[in-house]
């Protein structure tokens, strides 16, 4: 069962968020503003958080727990990544209106900070520097994933061209 809250429930959240690369450059005031504009949700282990093909309305930052990102290919489930506290997923939904590209399932009881486009828009109005830092960190994360995917693709091409 999903639980939702619009307030920072734990006093350690600010300190916890500072440890995450996504929020490392934010001041205490900027983090407070982000927390006030965001919501938090909890999901028990085994819960599917997002499904491929669904509309993407927000991104999730893992505060506690672990998730697995999977997709289906040729009728088989393929594990893409395991993510833990400090990692985030669903960030592409902040950029476009396309569908989710993968399923994400909680491996453990999880707690997430949920960030929507509206959250970032309000943050940009109240704390423009914070919004820029978060968007830049998201961009760096996307580029890292793209580079990793490109390397895997290139490795596959090289393997397929090797003489038998």
* CATH number of the domain encompassing residue 155: 2.60.120.10
Residue 153 DSSP SS3 = helix
Half-sphere exposure for 94 (CA within 13 Å, toward CB): 22
Phi, psi (deg, nearest 5) at residue 25? -95, 5
Task: Specify the pTM.
Answer: 0.84
Residue ranges making up the domain that contains 63? 3-161
Q: Looking at residue 61, what is its pLDDT?
A: 96
pLDDT digit string, tens, across residues 116-148: 999 999 999 999 999 999 999 999 988 988 898
Phi, psi (deg, nearest 5) at residue 108? -135, 170
pLDDT digit string, tens, across residues 72-131: 988 999 999 999 999 999 998 888 878 999 999 999 999 999 999 999 999 999 999 999
Q: What's the whole-number mean pLDDT along residues 54-60?
A: 93
Q: Are 113 and 60 in contact (CB under 8 A)?
A: yes
Phi-psi bin for 75: left (phi > 0), alpha (psi -120 to 50), beta? left
The number of domains in the chain is 1
């Amino acid at each position: 069962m999903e639980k939702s809250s619009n307030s920072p429930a734990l006093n350690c959240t600010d300190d916890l968020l500072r440890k995450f690369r996504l929020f490392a450059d934010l001041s205490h005031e900027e983090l407070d503003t982000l927390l006030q504009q965001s919501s938090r949700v909890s999901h028990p282990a085994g819960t599917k958080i997002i499904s491929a093909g669904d509309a993407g309305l927000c991104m999730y930052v893992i505060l506690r727990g672990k998730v697995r990102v999977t997709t289906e290919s040729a009728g088989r489930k393929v594990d893409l990544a395991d993510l833990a506290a400090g990692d985030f997923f669903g960030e592409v939904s902040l950029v476009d209106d396309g569908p989710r590209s993968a399923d994400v399932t909680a491996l453990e009881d999880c707690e997430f900070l949920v960030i929507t486009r509206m959250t970032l828009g309000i943050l940009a109005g109240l704390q423009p520097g914070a919004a820029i830092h978060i968007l830049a960190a998201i961009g760096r994360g996307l580029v890292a994933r793209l580079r990793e995917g490109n390397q895997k693709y290139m490795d596959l091409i090289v393997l397929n061209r090797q003489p038998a």
